[in-house]
Structure 1
Amino acid sequence: MRILLRGGYVHTPADPHATALCLDGDEVVWTGDDDASVHFEEGADRVVELEGRLVTPAFVDAHAHLAQTGFAAASVDLGAVASLGEALDAIAAHANSDPSAVVLGFGWDETGWPERRAFTREEVDRASGGRAVMLSRVDVHSAVVSSAFLDACPDVVHAEGYDVSGFVARDAHHAAREGLFKLTPATDREDAILRALQRAARQGIGMVHELGAPHICPPEDLAVSAALTARAPLPEVVRYWGELDGIETALALGCAGAAGDLCADGSIGSRTSALHAPYADAETSGHLYLDREQVARHVVACTRAGIQGGFHVIGDRAVTEVVAGFRAAADEVGVPALVQARHRLEHVEMASQEEMAVLGSLGVTASVQPMFDAYWGGDQGLYARRLGADRALPMNAFASLNKAGAALAFGSDTPVTPFGPWAAVRAAAWHQTESERVTVRAAFNAHTRGGWRAARRNEGGVIAPGAPASVAVWDVPGDLVVQTPDARIAAWSTDPRAGVPHLPDLHPDADLPSCVMTVVRGDIAFETEGALS
């Protein structure tokens, strides 16, 4: 299929003044101006009049959980409720109308409620009328389950991290998820994955990295996403399987790596991230799930197998263990081999400057989530309440990671935060800690080209002849500009004569662009009806 788009603004390094482009099959074949576009009209299956709209490379979400995202979209949304009572009312209303085998809820955060506590198993039993219920906290590292759920999944109560209140974390949370897999029909999981991919396409996303793991999804989910994208225009899915010593499984599943949510620790919100010093609001230092010897063994094995390795790592103690493991792996196989492997780490929220330098020297990609800072950063946010402001403010150090040479790839960790790439770009450019801000252009690159490179693919994330025909078309409410929120950036780049490609004004007071078309490898994955000719 040949598609000619013209009459807009094309964000391309090939021609900073381009207003048109042509896609032929799965490649970009031309960019240029409207006058020259007439040479590509003949043979075009469709000519799209952009009417001033912006065309960019399609975004990449480098950290997603598709089935959970799809289930969250159809579950009770507990992220918007203002109190424990409102949450229970919402659960009751949803349980009365939802015919699913298990009533699901996502997004609750007790730190924002006046009661400052989660609901109990008994309260959920009453609200749901005795149904099987699993309600995941906003970080998806803990949950509350009902009595009927425990009756159906009795192993949960014997696992570490189970509390009689129905709160489950660590091994008990993993056991609850595994129980949920068994209670959920395969057709429901397929519907959820499809729903998530469609939502991604509506946000201008042309590729997602699906981070599977035994505690997150059954391996069959990865085959489902592959089958769905093979038979319909949807965002590409790069698959990962996060299991220690799981290289053979990852290869059998067609994964890019035995990486992703292979967890070295948990989350700050659930107080399961591993810290050197205790949490400020509880007598615990979290939990370390892997030690440096296990990390080193896994990285060495992945390197020798020619696939990516990687880990989920958040707390400072966990980062120390993981970096020590990478150092030991480098001693065994050599630094060049690690750099060539392009291993990756998810989150990396509490790395020291020295640890960032090590990661940069070993070619490790930092797969990070800017909305974590937007939602929970700053001196008054969740991180500050859990850790104290002195530990919270340096977190999610995007500028420091970049300076240390670690490649950045942006994602959402959906359903933890939703698909929303422009919001993430803005969050990185207006980080709540000013010294950790990056330019809008750098943030945009991390959410486009960075995602391709994080998957060891160099050809995408840019509009240029020969690049994949994965683009998005946007309605932009304001002006296109070269934006440098950091005053230290040289002013020359904002001069139109410099030829720096422009992007939307993403100031926090500005409305964000809205997607009207997403093209993936030359096929239209999403289009707003009636928006384009």
Structure 2
Amino acid sequence: MMNPSTLYRGGVLHCPADPRATALLVRDGRIAWLGADADAPVADQVVELDGALVTPAFVDAHVHATDTGLVLSGLDLSGVRSAGELVDAVAAFAAGLPGDAVVLGHGWDESSWADRRLPDAVGLDRAAGGRRVYLSQASIHSALVSSALLAACPEAAAAPGYDVSGWLRRDAHHVVRAAAQGSVSRAQRTAAQRVALRHAASLGIAAVHECGGPEISDEEDFTGLLAVSGAQVPEVYGYWGELSGAARARELGAVGAGGDLFADGALGSRTAHVSSAYLDSGGGSCGHGYLSVEQVRDHLVDCAAHGMQGGFHAIGDAAIGTVLEGFAAAAVEVGTDRLRAARHRVEHAEIMSKRLIAGFVEYGIVASMQPAFDRLWGGAGRMYESRLGLDRSLESNPMGAMHSVGVALAFGSDSPVTPLDPWGSVRAAAAHHNPKQRMSVRAAFAAHTRGGWRAVHLDNEGVLALGAPATFAVWDTPAGVDRGLPVLLAEDPEARGPQDPTPLPVCRRTVLRGEVIYQEGAA
């Protein structure tokens, strides 16, 4: 039978246009009917929902698929709490590898350790039995590496960010990262990408925005990922972060010339460009800005010339200020209306001010943000406080303030920096450490669904509506449902916050344009 129709019935639908709807019919990849079970049309096949919740599927607006897959199938260091535990984890993992293998690990974060001293390069050599070791910090903007890997990359010693201890930042980190990633075969990369995308589908994610570029991944890795997009896995929308590289981005199949086009680094590695010095830098450092106003301007003008969406990675307020000055300069050349129509993006936008937020509104900039950053590192006693002080920490990741004045938001994870966890991200936005920065569950859900589609100019996606693409997820909701969305926050207001104990929904099925890309219990 060609293109059989499927009726999903007996559920609770997140359908604001028809809040009493309990069933939907899928035909030819679109929603052909919505309504009550009793009024449902005849279909070729029927799926009984048994009271499950149906919502639009999620979009993760910032991922690194290959790295995510390698972490899911490799050495995950997010749980280590000391240098000793890290070394032990490396030793145990390396013991099962060939002698010429490179040990790749990710996720350590010393800001949460009681003793923040790190193992040095020689210690990693011993733990890995002489193998080369590359261990990226949670932010992926710095890494611990072994002496063996340093010796294999002599050019790193002359690059900014080099340290003989083996903790590398900035350009030195980029050099060593490229060498370490080069040890992964194409077959391993493809397998890792599929692991990541299948995992995303199991969490109700139907599309991801891959942020690649010369300093993140090579072109073959990027185009290889785009080639598997939507093939029984979530769709992939690629961003290629190469300065003034709009033409090349289009050639590679990217939807935008942005993503991880670095205006600065990260707070975890103290390379985000901030206006006031890091409190724990020991030398009054304000991080590093990697782009000038003129470079930002020229990139945006290049994007306009090629009809491409552009964007930048900018975390610190000084870096974001540089980006906005570049927007102002570009507006002189191409006009503000043209900039707004492009929906250019800024990834992360963590340290903001009212003036900077106003710039996002003026130029129609999409803020691609990661609520889990506040959940993991915001608030008292966590990494942001160590780097910035408590007051500045509580002002970070101001999603609520940005939403309240109309900044377009698209939520994601930056996986593997934080795990793929869409409902966790929705709750994190609704339970920000700073109550003034919280937003409603409904608004956060929209940022993680429709916001992601709108960020790639697909304005009719991300809704359950007649004629819309049949892209949705089916959920068990152990804490119940409230007005078409799962209960994510504790009933007691005092218990609400980043560590809220309310159980999150569990995905039973993910459907992309009518095709099932994840089914609970399926092999």
Q: TM-score higher than 0.5 here? A: yes
Structure 2 CA distance, aligned partners of 1:61 and 1:115? 34
1:276-312 CA deviation, whole Å, 9 max, x = no partner? 1210111211011011111111112112321111000
Equivalence map 1:77-476=2 (5 Å): 77-99=76-98, 101-229=101-229, 232-282=231-281, 283=283, 284-476=285-477
Structure 2 CA distance, aligned partners of 1:3 and 1:157? 60
User: Aligned residue pairs: how many?
Assistant: 508
Aligned partner of 1:510 among 497, 502, 515: 502
User: Structure 1 pair 71/260, CA: closer, same or farther in 2 (3 Å)?
Assistant: same
Partner of 1:69: 68
Structure 2 CA distance, aligned partners of 1:181 and 1:379? 36
Paired AA for residue 504 in structure 1: V
TM superposition shift of 1:269: 0.9
TM superposition shift of 1:524: 1.0
CA contact (8 A) 1:181 1:218 kept: no
Partner of 1:25: 28
CA contact (8 A) 1:506 1:512 kept: no
User: Structure 1 pair 344/461, CA: closer, same or farther in 2 (3 Å)?
Assistant: same
1:198-236 CA deviation, whole Å, 9 max, x = no partner? 110011000000000111111112221222235x31100
User: Structure 1 stretch 389-398 or stretch 156-165: which is displaced more?
Assistant: 156-165
Partner of 2:496: none
Aligned partner of 1:40 among 33, 39, 42: 42
1:236-295 CA deviation, whole Å, 9 max, x = no partner? 000000010111210101111101000100011100011112101112110110111111
TM superposition shift of 1:474: 0.5
Paired AA for residue 153 in structure 2: C
User: What are the ranges of 5 or more consecutive residues in structure 1 without an aligned counterpart?
Assistant: 483-500
User: Structure 1 pair 434/174, CA: closer, same or farther in 2 (3 Å)?
Assistant: same
Paired AA for residue 16 in structure 2: P
CA contact (8 A) 2:112 2:382 kept: no
1:387-441 CA deviation, whole Å, 9 max, x = no partner? 1112111110011111232100000000000111000000000111111111000
CA contact (8 A) 2:262 2:291 kept: yes
Partner of 2:8: 5
Structure 1 CA distance, aligned partners of 2:463 and 2:251? 31
Structure 2 CA distance, aligned partners of 1:82 and 1:403? 38
Paired AA for residue 350 in structure 1: I
| Normalised TM-score (structure 1) | 0.93
CA contact (8 A) 1:343 1:364 kept: yes
Structure 2 CA distance, aligned partners of 1:148 and 1:463? 54
Partner of 2:494: none
Structure 2 CA distance, aligned partners of 1:404 and 1:331? 25
CA contact (8 A) 1:368 1:409 kept: yes
Structure 1 CA distance, aligned partners of 2:227 and 2:273? 38
Q: Secondary structure at the match of 2:176?
A: helix
TM superposition shift of 1:61: 0.1
User: Structure 1 pair 317/530, CA: closer, same or farther in 2 (3 Å)?
Assistant: closer
Structure 1 CA distance, aligned partners of 2:7 and 2:42? 7
TM superposition shift of 1:114: 2.7
Structure 2 CA distance, aligned partners of 1:235 and 1:98? 31
CA contact (8 A) 2:139 2:266 kept: yes
CA contact (8 A) 1:357 1:405 kept: no
Structure 2 CA distance, aligned partners of 1:222 and 1:469? 27
1:16-36 CA deviation, whole Å, 9 max, x = no partner? 111111111221111111111
Partner of 2:493: none
Structure 2 CA distance, aligned partners of 1:98 and 1:418? 25
Structure 1 CA distance, aligned partners of 2:141 and 2:69? 18
Structure 1 CA distance, aligned partners of 2:222 and 2:28? 26
TM superposition shift of 1:175: 0.8
| Normalised TM-score (structure 2) | 0.95
1:67-102 CA deviation, whole Å, 9 max, x = no partner? 010111122221112211111111100001134832
CA contact (8 A) 2:58 2:207 kept: yes
1:166-220 CA deviation, whole Å, 9 max, x = no partner? 1111001111121123222111111111111011001100000000011111111
Partner of 2:497: none
Structure 2 CA distance, aligned partners of 1:524 and 1:135? 36
Structure 2 CA distance, aligned partners of 1:440 and 1:117? 39
Structure 2 CA distance, aligned partners of 1:455 and 1:117? 42
Structure 1 CA distance, aligned partners of 2:522 and 2:157? 53
Structure 2 CA distance, aligned partners of 1:287 and 1:233? 41
User: Structure 1 stretch 398-407 or stretch 97-106: which is displaced more?
Assistant: 97-106
Q: Secondary structure at the match of 1:378?
A: coil
User: Structure 1 stretch 9-18 or stretch 510-519: which is displaced more?
Assistant: 9-18
1:101-137 CA deviation, whole Å, 9 max, x = no partner? 3211111011222321222101100000000110010
Structure 2 CA distance, aligned partners of 1:505 and 1:396? 20
Q: Secondary structure at the match of 1:40?
A: coil
CA contact (8 A) 1:361 1:405 kept: no
Paired AA for residue 10 in structure 2: G
TM superposition shift of 1:345: 0.4
TM superposition shift of 1:530: 7.1
Structure 2 CA distance, aligned partners of 1:528 and 1:370? 27
